[in-house]
Amino acid sequence: MSATGTPAPAGVPQLVPRRRRGTELVLLVAALVVGVGAFVTAELGYSGEIPDNLVSVAGGFVALAVIAHVAVRLLAPYADPVLLPLVVMLNGLGLAMINRIDLDLVASTDDGPFAGQQVLWTMIGVSGFVIVLALLRDHRRLQAFTYTLGLAAIVLLLLPLLPVIGREINGARIWIRVGPLGFQPGEVAKIFLVVFFAGYLVVKRDALALAGRRFAGIDLPRGRDLGPILVAWLVSLGVLVFQRDLGSSLLFFGLFVVLLYVATERVGWIVVGGLLFAAGSWFGYLTFAHVQERVTGWLDPFSDTDAYYQIVQGLYGLAFGGMVGTGLGQGDPSLTPFSYSDFIVTSLGEELGLAGLMAIILCYGLIVERGLRIALLCRDAFGKLLAAGLAVSFALQVFVVVGGVTRLIPLTGLTTPFLSYGGSSLVANWAIVALLLRISHGTRRPAPQVTPLQADDATQVVRLP
């Protein structure tokens, strides 16, 4: 395939648009080998038997991956070829680990099984993925819904606070329950917020980029422009105060500051954001017992191994796994509470070892890197901000949750994208990948051929093929 269309301006390297769907398929097969392989070896390691839900779980999963691949082929053929295989691999590993923990839990407790449910959520996630690709043919159309989606995000964030449908689970009020279905609206709100931030900042960035006072070589923003960041700060604090959700609070605010910086290219916003973050953290620490508890559990979890049982068990699990891990199905990950959701990273670290955990972290790193690359290549400001925002939200979330369970930073309740059990997170993250692929496709596809109708016509009319 060769480049068509207008020649690129001098100095900019010519991008050769290639579909790369074959590459994606090869990588996808490798990802499925890892995912399904993990699924089978986990049960082999546990009981020495081939799992009896092999066909329903693994088969279903392979079918979903193929559907996703076909959807990309048809709907976004020029999209990045690495993202989908990475996501399929993580989703598969998560499914394998959840199924493996089911074996423990079903034997000893009333919990679970979760794997079947997770397959169902994966199905919904992939459906959402296809629907996003199918309905949204150009990411720029989202810009029209900037404020609608911003409002929707606020409503979604408020939903769990409502009586009747709102639910408080494990101290955080971030759930809604309608009939049998539980959902964390915050996960979807996250996407809406990124769209809102991108759409808002792309319009206001010129004003916000105006320099104010200069301090230590950094241009600080003008005082009168501080309004938006203060609003974001207050909303984040509101999430912390009313929903007691430390992780989301941090994520929303971090996201806004980062996008502000990208949009305005002013380091000053990072300084202001950092100061506000420090103030918010200090306020949270002084005011809320649950924040203090998290900090103590981070600094010295062994001071009270009953109160910090979960983090301590997670660390024991990681240490027990060591360099190469116990092998799938041969550790004791279920000793850690929520080993299938919040602490699935320590479960994987225990059974796959440091080697496996590093591979997983690097996969996340690759996803973020691909996301930022899409942002770099994207030709419109809105798409750049959107892609960068989605990639950064992913990076922050992975950092906060993996850093939390491995005791790099205080523990906060965020889900591990694609790995942990839970529908909202899975569906939202599949949608994020769909958005990234959509932007990527829009960026990498050949520019439309422009054919002048008649050179000597008085009026130049351009016809698109």
Residues lying near another protein in the complex (CB under 8 A): 258, 261-263, 265, 302, 305, 312, 315-323, 331-332, 335, 349-350, 353-354, 357-358, 361-362, 364-365, 368-369, 372, 375-376, 381, 384-385, 388, 391-392, 395-396, 398-399, 402-403, 406-408
Residue 47 or 56 having the CB closest to another protein: 47
Residue (44 or 354) nearer to another protein, CB: 354
Burial of residue 462 (CB within 10 Å: 0-12, 13-18, 19+) is exposed
Task: Please report where in the chains the tokens 């900019």 appear, as a residue.
Answer: 12
CB of 245 to another protein, least distance (A): 21
CA dist., res. 432 & res. 426, Å (int): 10
Nearest approach, Cβ of 448 to another protein (angstroms)? 24
Toward another protein, which CB reaches closer, 72 or 405?
405
**d(C-alpha 245, C-alpha 339), whole Å:** 20
Question: Long-range contacts for 353-359 (Cβ within 8 Å, ≥24 apart)?
Answer: 353/321, 353/322, 353/323, 353/324, 353/325, 353/326, 354/321, 354/322, 354/323, 354/324, 354/325, 355/323, 355/324, 355/325, 356/325, 357/318, 357/321
Cα 158 from chain centroid (whole Å) = 21
* Residue linked to tokens 């320590």: 346
Contact between 88 and 35 under an 8 Å Cβ cutoff? The reply is yes
Distance in Å, CB of 105 to another protein, minimum: 15
Among residues 92, 117, 105, 145, the alpha carbon closest in space to that of 348 is found at: 92
Nearer to another protein, 28 or 398 (CB): 398
Nearer to another protein, 237 or 414 (CB): 414
> Within 13 Å and on the Cβ side, how many CA atoms surround 331?
30
Least CB distance from residue 151 to another protein, whole Å? 26
In degrees and rounded to multiples of 5, residue 213 shows phi and psi of: -65, 145
Query: What span, in angstroms and rounded, lies between the C-alpha atoms of 47 and 95?
Result: 18
Pick between residue 133 and residue 312 the one whose CB is nearest to another protein.
Answer: 312
CA–CA gap between residue 168 and residue 360 (Å, rounded): 31
Distance CA 324, CA 322 (A): 6
Of 181, 231, 234, 172, nearest in space to 415 by CA: 172
Shortest distance, CB of residue 266 to another protein, whole angstroms? 9
Is the Cβ of residue 69 or residue 190 nearer to another protein in the bound state? 190
Least distance from another protein to the Cβ atom of residue 80, Å: 15
CA proximity to 51, closest of 96, 90, 92:
96
**Which residue number, 40 or 381, has a Cβ lying nearer to another protein?**
381
In the complex, least distance from residue 274 CB atom to another protein, rounded to whole angstroms: 13
CB of 335 to another protein, least distance (A): 6
152/368 with CB nearer another protein: 368
- Which is nearer to another protein, 66 or 209 (by Cβ)? 209
Tell me how far, at minimum, the Cβ of 324 lies from another protein, in Å. Answer: 10
Q: How far is the CB of 136 from another protein (least distance, A)?
A: 22
Q: 65 with 88: CB under 8 angstroms?
A: yes
Nearest C-alpha neighbor of 80 from the set 125, 3, 150, 18: 18
